[in-house]
Amino acid sequence: METITEKSAKKVNGFVVLFLVVALLALNIYLLSLVIKNEDPAFLWIFIPGMFLFFIMFGSFAVVQPNDSRVLVFFGKYIGTIRESGFWAVNPFTEKRKVSLRIHNFNSDKIKVNDLHGNPIEIAAVIVWRVVDSARAVFDVQNYEGFIAIQSETAIRGLSSEYAYDSSDETESLRGNQLAISENMKKQLQQRLQIAGVEVMESRITHLAYAPEIAQAMLRRQQATAVVAARAKIVEGAVGMVDMALKALSEQHIVTLDEDKKATMVNNLLVALVSETQAQPVINTGTLYQ
């Protein structure tokens, strides 16, 4: 496939050409008046080519707004692009195709895909893009806006299958590492859309959820995972506190405990620290001997 690269087109100030067109029109009107007054057809042979030239020159004008461009095609051959805003005159036989250089947003629809673990999820994203090479956008793809839409959806589907929706460990997930996921999506999109002369400025996930058919089950799973993780953290902290208490009692010689009393103390401390309900303290005042 022939690759087209953008280049600057030849152009002249449109107001200069407009002045010439007005002067030519005035000349043609004067010649027509001479034909009518003198009834001499000789001036008619000058008037007809003059009007033909007038209509040709009138079709050479192009108005380019800021952040806009015109791709010029001369009988099927690309001859350049006008990026500078203003009023210009170009070859009147060229086709002037308008390509916007402004920043665009593409909001993808909610699509259902499977994550890394095969769970069905719903995901949508917004893609911020702009055309940086108008020639490639026009000639290298059939319809660059449709190309962007299809390639963006393909990249979102592919990215979703590489990550899990959520993760309880340190691995990256769609929900827990959205910034890193967005950067990865941007890189993948840029590789896909570079052929169309498009620059991806930003990509971000706008919607992320489990599919409705498994949403309730996955919610209960998340809650159970969170409870288990919390309980494990509580037990870890409680064991550390018990160990610290036993060491402090031993080092400061506050009380001497045998193995049975240490086991009883550990049991009581763990019950008090790990229990979900508030523990009721029992004060031991000593052993009563009769």
pLDDT in tens, 205-224: 888 888 777 656 666 666 66
| Predicted structure pTM score | 0.67
Measured at the alpha carbon of residue 251, what is the angle toward residues 248 and 255, in degrees to the nearest 5? Answer: 80
Question: Span 139-159, mean pLDDT?
Answer: 90
69-104 pLDDT, tens per residue? 999 999 989 999 999 999 999 988 999 999 999 999
Q: Is 134 left (phi over 0), alpha (psi -120 to 50) or beta?
A: alpha
Output DSSP code: residue 258.
-
Q: Are residues 54 and 152 in the same domain?
A: no
The alpha-carbon radius of gyration of the chain (Å, integer) is 39
Q: Are residues 112 and 50 in the same domain?
A: no
Instruction: Work out the pLDDT band at 284, boundaries 50, 70, 90.
Output: low
* CA 42/CA 165 separation, integer angstroms: 85
Full residue range of the structural domain in which residue 156 is found: 104-210
Residue at 7 is within a domain: no
Which stretches within 39-94 are classed as H helix?
44-58
Q: Are residues 66 and 135 in the same domain?
A: no
Contact indicator for 197, 6 with CB cutoff of 8 Å: yes
Number of domains in the chain: 3
192 has which bridge partners?
Answer: none
> Which CATH number does the domain housing residue 132 bear?
3.30.479.30
Q: What is the mean pLDDT of the chain?
A: 81
Domain end position, chosen among 210, 239, 265 = 210
* CA 110/CA 121 separation, integer angstroms: 10
Domain end position, chosen among 189, 210, 231 = 210
Contact indicator for 210, 119 with CB cutoff of 8 Å: yes
